[in-house]
Amino acid sequence: MKIEELKNHLQNNSKNLSNEFKRLFHGRGGVYDEWSFLTIDSIDKILSVALYFEIQSGLETELIGMLKEYIQSTSHTIIILQRRYKSGSPTEVIVGELKEDIFVVENGMKIKLNLRSNQNSGYFADMKNGREFVRENSKDKNVLNLFSYTCAFSIAAMLGGAKSVVNVDMSKSALTTGRANHHLNNLETKNVSFLPYNILKSFSGIRRKGLYELIIIDPPTLQKGSFEASKDYIKIIAKLSQLASDNCTVLACLNSPDLDSSYLIELFKEVAPEFSFVKRVQNLEEFANINEERGLKNLVFEKTASYV
């Protein structure tokens, strides 16, 4: 794909754009091998470009020039370029002026964004279908959101009519943003808890909040000193029986390219056989991966009261 073809790709994907987030180009999935370093997102008026490794200066100049031409036919007034390959993932404003208070819109839900010099913006766009699943399956349920980060699953659950949500994450700052995200969506938080716990060391405290009808497990693949999916995920699954109601649904998420769906399915069979695998939530088309098992895995399991 040459630069002009990339421009045509963007223009084709820009039809019917709204203020809602949309990934316009996803090179990270390996479908476009020569552009594997590049992602381009539409965030209302912002065109957000990320480079995942350093490229030749000539190609970068050509790319930026093309993007400046491209936005002449769209509603974008700002272009930002984030260099993910550099320490701190610094962001450069190429066109326009970036405001401090920014949020993304997803299915009408608002989530605060940090687009300046930060590897994690506060929003994981590829999880949209997972959040939609939670929103559709939260009615009148007590929900547990493990590794909640900025609590986007919690917002989805509350908008879906959840009775209560317990958010658990080690990061107090992420939970503070999570609380602000609820307020941004005009959601009361009297039935929403924000617990700054190390999950692996805090099951008793989480259990005191009661049993849960919907449990979300969305851990990092690797967080030094606290969680490593390849060895610690089993510890979470083994404790589910202490946290789950008789009829409980679990959404177990895994974003490691080196661990596939069968890894989680086998862990459940080994240490939580009362939960049966139901389905994998389909990933968004715009995040296509040449090998889907290297992409995001959102797996649904269900426990039934009849299990002996």
Number of domains into which the chain is organized:
2
Supply the angle between the helices 57-70 and 3-13 in degrees, to the nearest 10: 30
Residue with the two structure tokens 């997972």: 130
Same domain, yes or no: 129 and 82: no
- In this structure, the answer to whether residues 177 and 297 fall within a common structural domain is yes
Q: First CA to last CA across the chain, in angstroms?
A: 56
Q: Does residue 155 sit in the same domain as residue 239?
A: yes
Taking the CA atoms of residue 213, residue 143, residue 234 and residue 126 in that order, the dihedral angle to the nearest 10 degrees is 120
Residue 113 in any domain: the answer is no
SS3 content of the chain, % helix, strand, coil (to 5): 35, 30, 40
Asked whether the beta carbons of 238 and 200 are under 8 A apart, the reply is no
Return per-residue pLDDT of the chain as tens, 308 residues.
689 999 999 999 998 899 999 999 999 888 888 899 999 999 999 999 999 999 999 999 999 999 999 999 999 999 999 999 888 888 999 999 998 889 999 999 999 998 876 778 889 999 999 999 999 999 999 999 999 999 999 999 999 999 999 999 999 999 999 999 999 999 999 999 999 999 988 888 899 888 999 999 999 887 776 788 999 999 999 999 999 999 999 999 999 989 999 999 999 999 999 999 999 999 999 998 888 888 899 999 999 765 54
Residue 195 in any domain: the answer is: yes
Co-location of 200 and 299 in the same domain: yes
What CATH number should be reported for the domain holding residue 54?
3.30.750.80
Residues 249 and 142 in one domain: yes
Could you identify the residue written with the tokens 């998420």? 253
- Identify the domain containing residue 87 by its residue range: 3-99
Q: Is there a single domain that holds both residue 77 and residue 145?
A: no
Question: Do both 139 and 282 map to the same domain?
Answer: yes
8 Å CB contact between 254 and 229 = yes
pLDDT digits 0-9 by tens, 282-299: 999 999 888 888 889 999
Please tell me the pTM assigned to this model. Answer: 0.93
Q: 156 and 256 share a domain?
A: yes
Residue type, 256: S
